[in-house]
Amino acid sequence: MVSKRILVTGGAGFLGSHLCERLLRSGCHVLCMDSFLTGSHANVASFLAHRNFALITHDIAQPLPAGMEVDEIYNLACPASPPHYQADPLHTVKTSVYGAIHLLELAQRCGARILQASTSEVYGDPEVSPQTEAYWGHVNPLGPRACYDEGKRCAETLFFDFHRRHGVAIKVARIFNTYGPRMQPDDGRVVSNFIVQALRGDSLTVYGDGSQTRSFCYVDDLIEGLLALMASPLEVTGPINLGNPTELSMCELADRVLTLTGACTAVDFRPLPQDDPRQRRPDITRAKHVLGWEPTVPLSVGLEKTVDYFRQLLSATSTTSVDGVVQVMREEGAS
């Protein structure tokens, strides 16, 4: 059998790099495309010597390189944390909208299946819980989060219009909060924030009164969900929620992180940002029935692995910084 040629946009990001790794283990030829606006070379450095891996630095908001031929496309290209996608909101919208158009046109030309990594943010600050795929959401189109929320909603619209108009084989996954190794220390998401702050001995930043909830899915589980959706029958287009339905308040998460890290720090309560969802919990009934998928990694296990990752990362960063200072001192002394 000839292995599939798979394009992963945003492939050097948190989720994208895990997906690339999983596809390579399956024997696929992986073309990783990333603008490196928020992606990291370190995430894919170990793949560069793999004979089935190729890396292209490109922004999907711009026309794609000519002559590409692929069997499947996973579109994971877009900043996913509020500090990153709000840093350049216009580019965030362009990535979601122009990027979707460029990739859908490629899928149409190649006859490829294409999966859109959508988000639970399409539900906005939901007025129902848990959120089912039939819920249309409660989104503020004028707020500071709209560049991401509405960009992803528009991308979903484009996917279904290309499917209806041109017969493109689409898959739409609505991804809920995901965590694990390769998250960036400064990405602004609550799991990485809490762990990094605890390991550094800083106060844990909790917005609002900490009663707002999220549901956290470990990255390995999420990747298996994406693969199951891509492999599903053609008539399964989605959207399908992928996430962990176990709900946790921010104060409860802070307590768990403090226990795992052994940190003795305070909690710093700050005002809740505008349009920050009060509750986020997926209904994964459709994923269970249609894909045979549900998360299996307990939060305690996933958090422990993530804490270990950040502990090693911060230790290596600290060592590098110290070594750099020592080297500068040696050079200054020699001069």
Domain ranges of the chain: 5-182+218-244+281-296
CB-neighbour burial class of residue 216 (10 A; exposed 0-12, middle 13-18, buried 19+): buried
- Which one, of 123, 106, 87, 126, lies nearest residue 168 by Cα? 106
Q: 81 and 189 in contact (C-beta within 8 Å)?
A: yes
pLDDT (0 to 100) of residue 330: 36
Beta strand 213-215 with 170-175: parallel, antiparallel or unpaired? unpaired
The model's pLDDT over 136-152, given as tens digits with 9 standing for 90+, comes to 999 999 999 999 999 99
Task: Count CA atoms closer than 13 A to 251's CA, side-chain side.
Answer: 7
Chain centroid to CA 319: how far?
A: 28
**Which positions are catalytic?**
148
Task: Count CA atoms closer than 13 A to 316's CA, side-chain side.
Answer: 7
The structure tokens listed for 44 are 């894919």
The model's pLDDT over 94-110, given as tens digits with 9 standing for 90+, comes to 999 999 999 999 999 99
pLDDT band at 187, cuts 50/70/90? confident
The model's pLDDT over 4-13, given as tens digits with 9 standing for 90+, comes to 999 999 999 9
The structure tokens listed for 97 are 């909208």
Best CATH choice for the domain 5-182+218-244+281-296 from the list 3.30.930.10, 3.40.50.150, 3.40.1550.20, 3.40.50.720: 3.40.50.720
| pLDDT for 1 beyond 60 | no
Kind and range of the H or E run holding 9 = strand 5-9
The structure tokens listed for 286 are 């459709």
pLDDT band at 47, cuts 50/70/90? very high
Distances (CA, A) of 218 to 190, 225, 280, 296, 305: 14, 11, 16, 9, 10
**DSSP 8-state assignment for residue 182:** T
